[in-house]
Chains A and B, each alone.
Chain A
Amino acid sequence: MDKAITVAALTVAYGAATALSAIDLEIPKGKVTVLAGPNGCGKSTLLRAIRRLHQPKSGEVRLGDLPISGLKEKELARHIGLLAQNPSAPDDMSVEELVRLGRYPHQSMLQPWSAADGEAIQAAMFGTGVSHLADRRLGSLSGGQLQRVWIAMVLAQETDIICLDEPVNHLDMAHQIDCLDLVRRLNQEHGRTVVLVLHDLNLAARYADRLVFLKDGSVVAEGAPAELMSEELIEDVFGISCRVITDPVHERPLCIPIRNSSPRFRADTAA
């Protein structure tokens, strides 16, 4: 298995609090890897550390064989694209203007604009189905449209690796599926390596080639969804007793939560 990113003994701390402790992980090339776990488990922190938004306390992240700590800001941005958890841009910015920003890491004082930039923008807007919105102001778009435009911006960056931090958080169910189908298409048709943070376990199981469970800042388990989605493991990681069945449509594991089984929760309800 070819690896796109290697995380080696990575420890990240916020002040005194350790957010990630000694994480070892390989992100396979050309696959969709989903980081999942309960709130506060460190999944977003791990994604951000992979994109060098956090300075590790120890350990490192390597892109292929290269430690990312040695890359320049724009160089890194040509390799790894990032869709932030709550991205924001001015309401009066046009769709095309935002997508153009994806070309920023490819431009410099000496190379201000090239035909490749124009092609990448057109392709990104076409690929995400927002070409017809090009002249619209961001403030006039619906949540689902806006998320597609942001993905178009990341796509225009033409990176081999795309990181998305909870991209479907504030979308309704139809748009969640729409957005994640789009992400999977980018993976399958364009061969992009995708790293996703999702907290919805069933969406994670449905879209992941490889699933990584985190708990309290450590990787608890990783593997294909079918291997990982056992009732015991889910209870251990998410603190929920559940049944796991096979989704009859997609033939992926599907978790049916029964009740919260974490000791703290039980103490709360008893009192």
Chain B
Amino acid sequence: MSPLAPRLSPALARISRRAWIAVAVIAAVAAALALCGIGFGSTWIDPRRIVEILFGEGTRGERVVVLQLRAPRVAIAILAGGAMAVSGYLLQKVTRNELASPGVLGVIGGAGLGVVIFLALLSDESNALVTSIVWQPVAAMVGASVAIAAVFLLSGQQASSAVRLLLFGIAVGAVAKAATLILMIVGPIYRTTQASRWLAGAVNEINWGEVQVVAIGLAIAMVGVFAVARRLPPTDLDEVSARGIGLNLPVFRILVFALASALTALAVAFAGGVGFIGLMAPHLARLIVGRPVIPGIVASFLLGAIMLVGADLIVRVLFAPTEVPAGTVTAVIGTPYFLYLVLRRGSTNG
């Protein structure tokens, strides 16, 4: 038995085992979908062939198509979708609110605005950054942190009523989106061509340099996530009970908010404001793996990745060669789902 796995009673051990089996199945689906994502395009490449190319075989042409054109796009979709989903999982957990998510709390809007301001200030006329792209996620983090801080300061309490939190989150998100739109319109023409990314979220035109920045940032953030994961179970309790067993929830929440903002910022920095993955993926994860925290985090990541890779695949299949942002698909599916959650909540007066 691994030293990290607490000794469990037979019942809890069974629940945990089932959760990990579910995670393995989800991982297999994610891998298969990623291969399809790389395979699909102007020419279909067989998944087996892709694996061979990834391991160093293939013609020069194949290598360029797979490694330079398609793989970065799928890689960023995996990382950004996964990061959003884990961010949503953390937010839902510490606010004990199933409606909480980076989009609904205005974090995505804030991160997007941060990036757009950064680009407006630090791009030259040929649309090239005058500084390192490493700063782009940092700008997103600043925007995300300002947004979430604003939401919680305005609503007065960290875990105030779900509806209150939501209203302020949506308001802050709307302001950030409006500001982003204004920057797009009054900014230089070349930036407008990217408007769809910052408003809806997309994964086209991604290069390995950007993937690398996100991957490194995400690796660091995920270490943080697994470090706080052990302290997540008490957050299921009310604030007084959580303190009773030794977790200072208000302080812990700030740490988790910071982490969730960083995750969202990493996703938004290059893929833009893809909505609703942070809401839907954690729900689906909990539905499939149940309550165990670490499998829940891993499953959220994988499902978020599946959603964004899948959304991108859908826009490519339906609209190629026109580039439609993948975020439109998640929004089309996510909005009705969100409304369903709000209505269900309203009907039970919860």
Contacts and interface: CB of A to CB of B under 8 A. Distances in A.
A134 interface: yes
Interface residues of A, number: 40
Interface string B145-169: 0000000000000000000000000
Contacts of A112: 3-4, 6, 230
B346 interface: no
A48 B244 CA distance: 10
Interface in B232-250: 233-234, 236-238, 240-241, 243-248
B12 interface: yes
A119 to B, nearest CB: 11
Interface string A94-115: 1011000110110101001101
A74 B245 CA distance: 7
Contacts of A89: 236-238, 241
A135 B6 CA distance: 17
A85 B244 CA distance: 12
Contact of A109 (B7, B230, B233): B230
A86 interface: yes
Nearest to A157: B245
B246 A93 contact: no
A117 B9 CA distance: 12
A96 to B, nearest CB: 6
Contacts of A75: 246
B11 A87 contact: no
B291 A97 contact: yes
A87 B238 CA distance: 6
Given A94-B12, A97-B291, A112-B4, A87 B241 contact: yes
Q: Is the interface of B mostly helix, strand, loop or mixed?
A: loop
Given A96-B11, A96-B12, A86 B238 contact: yes
B245 A101 contact: yes
Most buried by A among B3, B6, B9, B246: B246
A101 B237 contact: yes
Contacts of B96: 90
A101 B233 contact: yes
B291 A92 contact: yes
Interface in A57-87: 73-78, 81-87
A102 B245 CA distance: 6
A113 B6 contact: yes
Contacts of A78: 246
A107 to B, nearest CB: 8
Interface residues of B, number: 25
Contacts of B291: 90, 92-93, 97
Given A87-B237, A87-B240, A101-B234, A113 B7 contact: yes
Contact of A105 (B230, B241, B245): B245
Nearest to A108: B230
Interface in B205-242: 227, 230, 233-234, 236-238, 240-241
A135 B245 contact: no
A118 interface: yes
Contacts of A51: 243-244
Given A82-B240, A84-B240, A96-B11, A73 B233 contact: no
Contacts of B230: 107, 109, 112
Interface string A15-55: 00000000000000000000000000000000010010100
Nearest to A72: B246
A205 interface: no
Contacts of A142: none
A97 B12 contact: yes
Contact of A84 (B6, B227, B241, B290): B241
Interface in A146-166: 153-154, 157
A88 interface: yes
Given A78-B246, A112-B230, A96 B9 contact: yes
Contacts of A94: 11-12
B240 A93 contact: no
22 contacts: A76-B246, A82-B240, A82-B243, A84-B244, A86-B238, A87-B240, A89-B241, A92-B290, A92-B291, A97-B291, A101-B236, A101-B237, A104-B246, A105-B246, A107-B230, A109-B227, A112-B4, A112-B230, A113-B6, A115-B7, A117-B6, A117-B7
Given A78-B246, A97-B233, A113-B6, 16 more contacts: A48-B240, A74-B246, A77-B244, A82-B243, A84-B240, A87-B238, A89-B238, A90-B96, A90-B236, A90-B291, A96-B11, A107-B230, A112-B230, A117-B6, A134-B11, A135-B11
Interface of B: 3-4, 6-7, 9, 11-12, 96, 227, 230, 233-234, 236-238, 240-241, 243-248, 290-291
